[in-house]
Amino acid sequence: MGFGFGRVALGAALGLAVLGGGRAQAGWQKAESAHFVVYSDGGEASLRAFTGKLEDFDALLRLFHGRAAGQDDAARKLDVYLVRSPDQLRRAFPDADPNVAGVYAADVNDIFAVAVRKQSDLADDTVLHEYVHHFMLQHYPGVYPAWLIEGYAEYFMTADFEDRKTLVGAPNGNRVSALLHGAWVPARDLLTKRLGQLTRAQAGVYYGQAWLLTHYMLSDPERKKKLSAYVAATAKGEDPLSAWPRTTGIAVEDLDRVMLVYLRSAIPTKTLVREALPDFPMTVTDLPASAGDLLLENQLAKRAPPKSFGEKLLKTVRDEAAKYPGDRLATLALARVEAGYGDMAVSNRLLDDWLASHAEDAEALRLAGENRLAAARAGNDKALAAEAAKLFGRANKAAPDTYQTLYDFAKTRMGEPGYPSDNTLNVLELTAQLAPQVREITLNVGQALAARGRVDDAIRLLEPVANDPHGGKAAETAATLLKAIRERTKAG
């Protein structure tokens, strides 16, 4: 995937000013907990509080899904960057809407979120909403109705954590306002369409309706059972408009009325009582001064912005990196943007010099391997491809089971006779397990599985992508692959 994957649309705000604006004055710190790595320049107290809230939210999702706290300790932690203003957020996401309070991105180079601190509850709601998607893809991938995918995230994102209780299912004020004052999406469209098939004006109301219908179905044990039956039916291919009345007993033409009555009722909120606020262990460390100038630019570089904009990014990173000779972040950020938009020879020299004294730096090894692999593909050079594979092997030894490194290694084998080999397929499957949120990886692994005759596994992997309400071209590609796989299976 590339620039624009992170739930935002490419806008006109691609000026150099966004790279130079919003520089942080306070020092950046990093908090690492069981499931998150959070970066912030807003002081240690707020950093600890937000990291604790994320862990509390993760624990809530685990409670609702019967998942033990340590059940997946090997899973990759989610990186979250807390910034002080929308301008600062746009240093990593210049394509973000000016009013957005948080953005999530999952790509072959990284999976992370950026959120604005202390902007009512908008940033918190956005990050928590996206974390529900992240959590479900990691642990419970499946074929769910598009409205339920969004409604489920909306249902949990407003969770309110207090010392002795947690409130779940409270409404989001913006969504309720849209429901009360906006034109509703027709029930038939709510049940059958994705966001991309709706107008911009309908999108805000769609989220509200998705939340309302999800809340309605989850608020009663009998309705919850009917919802499960509906999900199972549509997952097997039954038409949503016929499955809905059959499984829920509610006619499609009556759905708007039922939802409106529920909206005007005393919508219940679940209250979970606890003895005290849990203690979530975390380690807080200070980051080098270079973080204030380059941390967010480095994240933007990972998103592979368009060349015209990347050239502006390159100038900014060159200027800022020059202030920090010998600094790791400055060196790797500059090497990354030089490789993408500047001088590959400079990038290689930076990485080789760094590795001469930091031979076990996994990220530097991976970047050096990616440079060799790019050159190998450009010149059809097998020797360079082999060199890249060795660098990826060293990177994996230094930091085992990093999804980016594993995927890079698998790419050195693509195009070989008999691809994928047993070993390459094992690497690809592990990559998909570690980063199920990354669509490009899922698509390639699905194709590899199908090529080896593991049709059921390929279908299981591709269906969530094809059904993703934000899937875009990736969803279309997955749907096309699924159709081809099923047709070949029938013909064979």
Q: What structural domains and CATH numbers belong to the chain?
A: 1-141+279-286 (3.40.30), 171-268 (no CATH), 306-400 (1.25.40), 419-492 (1.25.40)
> Is the predicted pLDDT of residue 236 greater than 50, yes or no?
yes
Average pLDDT for the chain? 91
At residue 181 the predicted structure's pLDDT band, cuts being 50, 70 and 90, is very high
- In the prediction, which pLDDT does 490 show? 81
pLDDT at 140 exceeding the cut of 90: yes
Across the strands, what pairs with 36? 78
List the 111-116 sheet strands across, edge first.
102-106, 111-116, 78-83, 36-40, 29-32, 283-286
Q: Tokens 């708007």 sit at which residue?
A: 256
Task: Kindly report the pTM of this predicted structure.
Answer: 0.90
pLDDT in tens, 265-286: 989 999 999 998 899 999 999 9
Number of neighbouring beta carbons within 10 Å of residue 403: 21
- Residue 7: pLDDT above 50? no
Which two three-digit tokens encode residue 417? Answer: 């006779």
Q: pLDDT tens digits, residue range 15-34? A: 333 333 444 456 999 999 99
Please state the rounded mean pLDDT for residues 209-217.
97
